[in-house]
Amino acid sequence: MISSAQYLAQDSEPWINTDTFINLFWANTIGGLEYGSIYALVALGYTLVYGVLKLLNFAHSEVFIYGAYATWFTFFLLGFRPGPTPELPVGELIAYLVLAVIVAMLVSGTTALVLERVAYRPLRNRGAPRLAFLITAIGASLILQQILFLWRGSNPEQAIRLLRPETLFNVGSASVQNLTVIIVVASVLMWIVADTFVNRTRFGRGIRAVAQDPDTAMLMGVNKERIIMLTFVVGGLLAGAAAVFYMMKIPQGAQYNGGFLLGLKAFAAAVLGGIGNLRGALLGGLLLGIIENHGQALFGGEWRDVVAFVVLVLVLMFRPTGILGESLGKARV
Amino acid sequence: MARARITAALALAATAASLVLGACAPREDAGNNAANQPQSDAPAEPENAHKPEGDGNAKCSNVAIAYAGTINGENAALGQNILNGVKLAVKKHNDANPDCQVELKEYDTEGVPERAPGIVTQMVNDEQIVGVVGLPFSGESKAAGNIFDKGGLPQISPSATNPTLSQNGWKTFFRGLGNDNAQGPAAAKFLTDNLGAEKVCVVQDDSEYGIGLASEVKKALGDKVVCDEKVKTKQKEFSAVVQNIKAAQPDAVYYSGYYQEAAPFAQQLYDAGVETQLVGPDGVKDDEYVKGAGDAAAETFFTCPCVPGEGFTKFAGEYRKMFDKDPGTYSVEGYDAATVLLTGIDAGNTDRKKMLEWIKNYDAQGLSNKLGWDENGELAETPTVWTYKVENGKIVRNVEIK
Amino acid sequence: MTTTKTPAPAKAPAEPPRRRSISEWWNNLSRFQQWIILLPLVALIFALPWLNPPLITTEPGYDFSIAMFDVARYCLIAIGLNVVVGQAGLLDLGYVGFFAIGAYVAALFTSPDSTLWKIPYLAAIPLAMAITMVFGVILGSPTLRLRGDYLAIVTLGFGEMVRLFADNVDALRGNRGFSNIGAPPGTRENGEPLFANFDGKPWYVLCVAVIIVILILAGNLERSRVGRAWVAIRDDEDAAELMGVPTFRFKIWAFVIGAAIGGLSGALYAGQQGFMNNQRFDVLTSVLFLAAVILGGSGNKVGVMLGAFVVAYVPLRFLSIAEWKFMIFGVALTILMIFRPQGLLGARQRLLTYGRQAYQRLVGRGEVVSSDTAMAGGKSLMNGGNGAPK
């Protein structure tokens, strides 16, 4: 009791810490971009599935975390062990990272595919109501989590890291690290690939058609089931890539329920930017990452998540379909 | 057309990536050696320590002790450490005493207060149980302490360190280790005297343990606290907190919380190139932390109101043999608490009332602490606080804080 | 009674006649008669903690009376959430926020750890309901203009914010929590308080009594103008608006009534626990609440209670295989939804205030209970989940 009273007395800092905000503006923006680009990649998975099926795929965070585990196991099977970061030649390092990305994408993509086949397709075939999908998503999410839990226990996998962050150059007072550059650039590239895929290819046209009007699309000869499967797989692949970047940034990230909060944020990012909208996912993800960091600087670390949700609610209040609006179907043709 | 563009983009990316990656040169070790004092001698396993096996001639029947706490829930590793310590004690006892087989009942509270009343009521109603090792966390202890008290069922908590727990007038509450009031000032002393820190950042998580301990540390540090950060349980991304700490340029950072968040925090702190000395409490002092924090682990000190167990080679060996891993934080406390109960049963205290008297009058050297309790259930003899450091991927003793 | 009077004019041929007659007989009874007939069942439900039937019991592992209180609490929550989700069709993923507010109000006004003035626990319950209602309006008025999934996200955000505020605002004590939260008065023969955290029985009886009252009130509401407006909004909001239903106002009402029941259950929870901190107000809990409603059958009051029973009881029953309980739970949710997407019991709604009397007079038989509603009928993903006109 005494201690808590004194704790209260000590805690008389100003409510809004503008000094920190200004001093750390660049540092927090860069940090936010880095984490935000991971949000963005995960958000793409939510957005694609929502755009096509109008389904909140709650289990997408598990698709992501399976990618994180795949990354860890790739590193582990390559012979790396927890402990100090090894010094690797550049070529070898790139090879390992690319291998991890491929494995994680495969694992996440397969997880998403299995999820669609086992959990969602039977429901679709029976013409189940939308809420039933939501519950199945929650059920599937629990199952996927529990598989990891029963297999690997509740502790995170011990950190294995191949690349130690090093400062490359400075922006203002903030330093930019190699890891940040890799994550942001790679994420944006992945996004460009996904965007091109959806907007420029035949499969992408199918996705857009089904998103716009499933019945008409079927009449036009689009194989709807295949398109839905494809959508899940693309979302899974992107989540797998995001998982590798996440594990590079936070090597302790492979934990059975570790995807939950990140998935929630990524989902919020998708809604913020305009769900069903690929550009919206990118914008929403980056914005959310940056806003979170600045909010934290302004109000203190404990308000980080509150800031994220307040911004989300405010945006929805003034732009009820997110910043860029929802429209996978209406994307430019 | 589109495909060609994608290929081009990928090629570009690969080039850029190799440039970026190429820039990493081995960096100078950021750790400072200010705190590299000579190790104190490790205390040997106390010769006179109580032993769960007793004299081997005990007779009893139909008696049980129980462990209640997290097994599969939050911070499960901590609960497993304790449970394993208890299991080891019970096994040693039962192997040595063929005529006194004590049953160990396990209850999983998941570490949340919500579950505690139902489970504790159940234990109280089970007449077979004469004593309980648990509950590990302060929240659940608060939620169910009165039920133990009402049922007259003694509980020895191996890890709940909140000082208020002993102030509720519960006659059945005993704490098997020092509380935050012991560790806080000692940690502050270590930070200022041993590490010579003039500016300290205190980071606390949102657990009762983290908040309580941080406020004790801050109270003792006074105006040497230059920044005061808060993080959340399950948080894994700390860039903004790290930036705040970097801006404050502290000589040392005290992380008041558990290892699960401490590991990524430490790594991100060192990755950002903050030159400071990280110190964590007993909640961080765990092998999981050392393996989880990667490069940063080697730079960390720990404070813990627990005696170094390296001298306890016998205990560690038996533990490793049984569970195929090293004893973790609170394993020794769990073992000690179970031993108090088991020796009580051997002495013929096979009902709760007698067991309560036995514990109240207990006075023996445990593996970790001198065990004997005051009227509130706190250890009568204030335990010593030790500091630890990491060497070659193992947590080893550093010095005793006097 | 009246089952044999006249043959039904529009009898569905596929229905087996015997089942039909029982349900018709049941539907013909007045609610009062129905309750009388249910009396033995109600008595049995009240007696459950004393009976402690084998197989059903959660012991050894978890005290059965406390487990039954947990189940009853979940039932109450499910009924409240059913008003919002099942009847008005508003997807609320942040219901735990209202639950938490109710619990915190009870704690703040009765626990010695709080700095506020103290009031008796029984007075804190209506206060908790009133304050959660205010929060219902505060949350509802800006957000209820959003539709469907956006509403779900905003409510999810709201639930998280309540939890984080509880975490961050010092007066709410975060993880340290509140001890010695009040309870209704009364002592046992041995001087111990009647309502305490080591005995679930009094709390269980109180909670079941509250559930019965709420069920009667909610039933009345359902067959009033308000209930019909909710169903109209749920099935097609635009059409309802066009037909002159002030949709926004009725949505707020649904939200506020749901919030009040959530607050009530929160206050009961805090009282029974005696100690409360911020640990169980997360999204997962919110999702469990929603799972109870949808599992049982959104829109069906008996169904949602059944769902609540499953959600609350299964994890406590299978404590001994604790590692597996969430797995079992997840599999159960998934399989149930695949084979019974409308939930264990589908939505059934009586919409007319004097429906029974009117039906008897006009067609000489019991009321036709509508069972095709938003859940079972219209907006499936198959036939154009996004097809709702905007």
Closest to B387 measured CA to CA, from B401, B374, B375: B401
Which contiguous run of DSSP H or E holds residue B301?
strand B300-304
Listed in sequence order, the residues at least 6 apart from B69 whose beta carbon sits closer than 8 Å to its beta carbon are B79, B82, B83, B107, B108, B109, B111, B134, B135, B136, B137, B140
Cβ-Cβ contacts under 8 Å, B120 against chain C: 198
Half-sphere exposure (Cβ direction) of B94: Cα atoms closer than 13 Å: 16
**Dihedral angle at the C-alpha atoms of B350, B162, B308, A155, nearest 10 degrees?**
90
The amino acid sitting at C332 is: A
| CB atoms A189 and B247 under 8 Å | no
3-state secondary structure of A153: coil
Chain B residue with minimum CA distance to A30? B239
| CB atoms B113 and C198 under 8 Å | no
Would you tell me which residues 161-190 of chain B have a C-beta closer than 8 angstroms to some C-beta of chain C? 168
| CB atoms C175 and B119 under 8 Å | no
Cβ-Cβ contacts under 8 Å, A135 against chain C: 290-291, 294-295, 333, 337
Minimum distance, in Å, between the CA of residue B114 and any CA atom of chain A = 20
Distance CA A255, CA B228 (A): 28
Question: Low-confidence residues of chain B, pLDDT below 70?
Answer: 1-47, 74, 309-311
- Per the model's pLDDT, the better-predicted residue between C70 and C333 turns out to be C70
Cβ-Cβ contacts under 8 Å, A264 against chain C: 156, 160, 283
Minimum distance, in Å, between the CA of residue C167 and any CA atom of chain B = 7
Do B132 and B200 reside in the same domain of the chain?
no
For position B272, which CATH number holds?
3.40.50.2300
Do B283 and B315 reside in the same domain of the chain?
no
For the whole prediction, is pTM greater than 0.90? no
Chains that contact C by 3+ CB pairs under 8 Å? A, B
| CB atoms A84 and B298 under 8 Å | yes
Do B188 and B134 reside in the same domain of the chain?
no
In a mutagenesis test of the B interface, which of A252, A292, A305 is the best target, namely the one with the most B β-carbons within 10 Å? A252
Q: Bin B205: left if φ > 0, else alpha if -120 < ψ < 50, else beta.
A: beta
Residues β-bridged to residue B106: B67
The closest CB to that of A150, out of C150, C323, C379, belongs to: C323
Q: What is the pLDDT of residue A40?
A: 95
Q: What is the pLDDT of residue B119?
A: 92
Is residue B262 exposed (0-12), middle (13-18) or buried (19+ Cβ within 10 Å)? buried
pLDDT tens-digit profile of C333-345?
Answer: 888 888 887 788 8
* Class in CATH terms, A17-318: mainly alpha
In a mutagenesis test of the B interface, which of A154, A182, A248 is the best target, namely the one with the most B β-carbons within 10 Å? A154
Chain A residue with minimum CA distance to C379? A129
Q: Bin C384: left if φ > 0, else alpha if -120 < ψ < 50, else beta.
A: left
Minimum distance, in Å, between the CA of residue C370 and any CA atom of chain A = 17
| CB atoms B294 and A83 under 8 Å | yes
pLDDT tens-digit profile of C259-302?
Answer: 999 999 999 999 999 999 888 898 888 888 988 888 888 888 88
Q: Quote the mean pLDDT of chain C.
A: 82
pLDDT at C12 over 70: no
Residue carrying structure tokens 């909001």: C237
Which contiguous run of DSSP H or E holds residue B227?
strand B225-230
The count of structural domains within chain C is: 1
Which contiguous run of DSSP H or E holds residue B202?
strand B200-204
Residues spanned by the domain of B162: 63-177+309-371
In a mutagenesis test of the C interface, which of A2, A116, A130, A147 is the best target, namely the one with the most C β-carbons within 10 Å? A130
| Token pair recorded at residue C243 | 């037909």
Q: Bin C148: left if φ > 0, else alpha if -120 < ψ < 50, else beta.
A: left
Residues β-bridged to residue A267: none
The closest CB to that of C322, out of B71, B112, B113, belongs to: B71
Q: What is the ipTM of this complex?
A: 0.86
Cβ-Cβ contacts under 8 Å, C272 against chain B: 117
Minimum distance, in Å, between the CA of residue C271 and any CA atom of chain B = 12
DSSP string for C117-173: PP--HHHHHHHHHHHHHHHHHHHHHHHTTS-HHHHHHHHHHHHHHHHHHHHH-GGGT
| CB atoms C385 and A150 under 8 Å | no
The closest CB to that of C381, out of A53, A142, A305, belongs to: A53
CB proximity A185 to B under 8 Å = yes
| CB atoms C150 and A4 under 8 Å | no
Which contiguous run of DSSP H or E holds residue B302?
strand B300-304
Chains that contact B by 3+ CB pairs under 8 Å? A, C
| CB atoms B112 and C167 under 8 Å | no
CB proximity C276 to B under 8 Å = yes
DSSP string for B86-153: HHHHHHHHHHH-TT--EEEEEEE-TT-GGGHHHHHHHHHH-TTEEEEE---SHHHHHHHHHHHHHHT-
pLDDT tens-digit profile of C140-155?
Answer: 888 888 777 778 888 8
**Residue C371 — pLDDT band, cuts 50, 70, 90?**
low
Tell me the H-state helices in C223-300.
225-235, 237-242, 247-273, 283-296
Other CB atoms within 10 A of residue C138 CB:
12
Minimum distance, in Å, between the CA of residue B369 and any CA atom of chain C = 27
The closest CB to that of B231, out of A158, A186, A301, belongs to: A301
In a mutagenesis test of the A interface, which of B164, B167, B230, B237 is the best target, namely the one with the most A β-carbons within 10 Å? B237
Minimum distance, in Å, between the CA of residue C217 and any CA atom of chain B = 30
CB proximity B121 to C under 8 Å = yes
Minimum distance, in Å, between the CA of residue C198 and any CA atom of chain B = 6
| CB atoms C380 and A130 under 8 Å | yes
Do B221 and B194 reside in the same domain of the chain?
yes
Distance CA C218, CA C213 (A): 9
The closest CB to that of A136, out of C146, C168, C333, belongs to: C333
Cβ-Cβ contacts under 8 Å, C338 against chain A: 119, 122-123, 126, 128, 136
Listed in sequence order, the residues at least 6 apart from C28 whose beta carbon sits closer than 8 Å to its beta carbon are C1, C2, C3, C356, C360, C365, C366, C367
The closest CB to that of A23, out of B240, B247, B295, belongs to: B247
Would you tell me which residues 156-195 of chain C have a C-beta closer than 8 angstroms to some C-beta of chain B? 167-168, 174-177, 179, 192
| Token pair recorded at residue A60 | 């997408």
Minimum distance, in Å, between the CA of residue A267 and any CA atom of chain B = 17
3-state secondary structure of A176: strand
For position C70, which CATH number holds?
1.10.3470
Do B199 and B253 reside in the same domain of the chain?
yes
CB proximity A172 to B under 8 Å = no
Minimum distance, in Å, between the CA of residue C195 and any CA atom of chain B = 13
**Residue C19 — pLDDT band, cuts 50, 70, 90?**
low
Chain B residue with minimum CA distance to C190? B150
Distance CA A238, CA A43 (A): 9
| CB atoms B241 and A90 under 8 Å | no
| CB atoms A139 and C334 under 8 Å | yes
Q: What is the pLDDT of residue B70?
A: 87
User: B377 in a domain, yes or no?
Assistant: no
Closest to B157 measured CA to CA, from B361, B382, B330, B283: B330
Q: What is the pLDDT of residue A5?
A: 40
Distance CA B80, CA B350 (A): 27
User: C264 in a domain, yes or no?
Assistant: yes
Residues β-bridged to residue B386: B304, B400
Chain CA centroid to CA A216, Å: 32
The end-to-end CA distance of chain C, in Å, is 48
Do B203 and B76 reside in the same domain of the chain?
no
**What angle (nearest 5°) sits at the alpha carbon of residue A31, between those of residues A27 and A35?**
170
| Token pair recorded at residue B35 | 């705190």
| Token pair recorded at residue A88 | 């690797």
Residues spanned by the domain of C181: 63-186+193-363
Tell me the H-state helices in B324-396.
331-346, 352-360
| CB atoms C275 and B113 under 8 Å | yes
Residue carrying structure tokens 């190790």: B39
The closest CB to that of A268, out of C153, C164, C338, belongs to: C153
Chain B residue with minimum CA distance to C67? B118
User: C272 in a domain, yes or no?
Assistant: yes
User: B329 in a domain, yes or no?
Assistant: yes
Task: Tell me the C-alpha to C-alpha distance, in Å, between residue A199 and each of A33, A51, A194, A271, B3.
Answer: 25, 14, 8, 20, 13
Distance CA C211, CA C374 (A): 25
| Token pair recorded at residue C295 | 């599992």
CB proximity B125 to C under 8 Å = yes
Do B215 and B145 reside in the same domain of the chain?
no
The count of structural domains within chain B is: 2
The string over B316-342, giving b where at least 16 C-beta atoms fall within 10 Å of a residue's C-beta and e elsewhere, is bebbeeebeeebbbbbbbbbbbbbbbb
Minimum distance, in Å, between the CA of residue C165 and any CA atom of chain A = 8
Chain A residue with minimum CA distance to B270? A165
Q: What is the pLDDT of residue B298?
A: 84
Question: Low-confidence residues of chain A, pLDDT below 50?
Answer: 1-12, 331-333
User: C381 in a domain, yes or no?
Assistant: no
**Residue C385 — pLDDT band, cuts 50, 70, 90?**
very low
Boundaries of every domain in chain A: 17-318
**Dihedral angle at the C-alpha atoms of C193, C197, C202, C204, nearest 10 degrees?**
170
The amino acid sitting at C90 is: L
